[in-house]
Amino acid sequence: MNVSTEERDGILIAHIRGDVDSRTSSALREQLMPLVRPDARIVLDMSEVTFLSSAGLRTLLLLYRQITQTHGQVVLAGLSPVIRDTMAVTGFLDFFADYPVLEEGLEALRR
C-alpha cells in the first residue's frame, strides 16, 4: 500500500494504491491524518486499491469520523465494483458519497 497526495483548488486528493488491510491501514491513517485541517475537503482516490479488508474499511470510517468532526468533507472516487459491493453489503457505503471517477468526486466537493 502507498499513498500520494496532491491539492487541487483547495481540495486534498489522496491516491491510495495496493492492499488496505490490518497490516497497512495504520500507515494509511498516519499519512493522511496530519494533512486533515478543519473544514478540509478530501477525495480518496480508490481506483488503484486492489484489496480492502475489514480493517481497511474500519480505517476509512475512522477517517470519515475524524474529518467530519472538524467539519470537513470526504468522498470516495473510483471504487472497484468488488470493493463497492463489499462496502454496500456491510453498511460502510452508507456513510460515504462515492463517485465513479476522480473528476466527479472533485466536482461534488466544489459545489
Partner 1 sequence: MHQRIDIYPTHHHGDFLLRSGRPYPFGASFVPGGVNFAIFSRHATACTLVLYRSGEPDLLAEIPFPTEFRIGNVFAMVVFGLDYENVEYGYRLEGPFRPHAGHHFDPDRIVVDPYARALSGGDSWAQRTYPDSINPHRGRLVYDDFDWLADRPLEHSIEDLVIYEMHVRGFTRHASSGVRFPGTYAGIREKIPYLKELGINAVELMPVMEFDELDNTRVNPLSGDRLYDYWGYNPIAFFAPKAGYAATGHLGMQADELKALVKDLHRHGIEVLLDVVFNHTGEGNEEGRTISFRGIDNKTYYMLKPDGGYYNFSGCGNTLNCNNPVVRNMVLDCLRYWVAEFHIDGFRFDLASIMGRDSRGQPLINPPLLEALAHDPVLGRTKLIAEAWDAGGLYQVGSFPSYGRWAEWNGQYRDTLRRWLKGDMGQVQAMALRIMGSPDLYPERGPAASINFITCHDGFTLTDLFSYNEKHNEANGEGNRDGHDANFSWNCGWEGETASASILALRRRMMKNAILILMVSQGVPLISMGDELAHTAGGNNNTYCHDNELNWLDWSRRESQAEIFRFFRLAIARRGTHAMLRQRHHLRQREFVDGGYPDISWHGVQAWQPDWSHHARTLAFMLAGQNGGESRQANTFIYVAMNMHWDPHRFELPRLPARQHWHLVADTHLDSPEDIHEPGEEPLLRHQKQFQVGPRSVIMLIGR
**Which positions lie near partner 1, rule CB under 8 A?**
21-23, 53-55, 57-58, 61, 85-86, 88-92, 94-95
Least distance in Å: CB of 67 to partner 1? 15
Least distance in Å: CB of 75 to partner 1? 18
Tell me if 24 sits within 8 A of 54, measured CB to CB: no
Least distance in Å: CB of 82 to partner 1? 10
3-state secondary structure 56-82: HHHHHHHHHHHHHHCCCEEEEECCCHH
Amino acid at site 60: L
Nearer to partner 1 (CB atom), residue 58 or residue 110? 58
Look up cell 500520494; give the residue: 4
Nearer to partner 1 (CB atom), residue 21 or residue 104? 21
Least distance in Å: CB of 60 to partner 1? 11
Nearer to partner 1 (CB atom), residue 2 or residue 54? 54
3-state secondary structure at position 45: strand
Could you tell me which residues are beta bridge partners of residue 2? Answer: 17
CA dist 88 and 44 (Å) reads 17
Nearer to partner 1 (CB atom), residue 45 or residue 86? 86
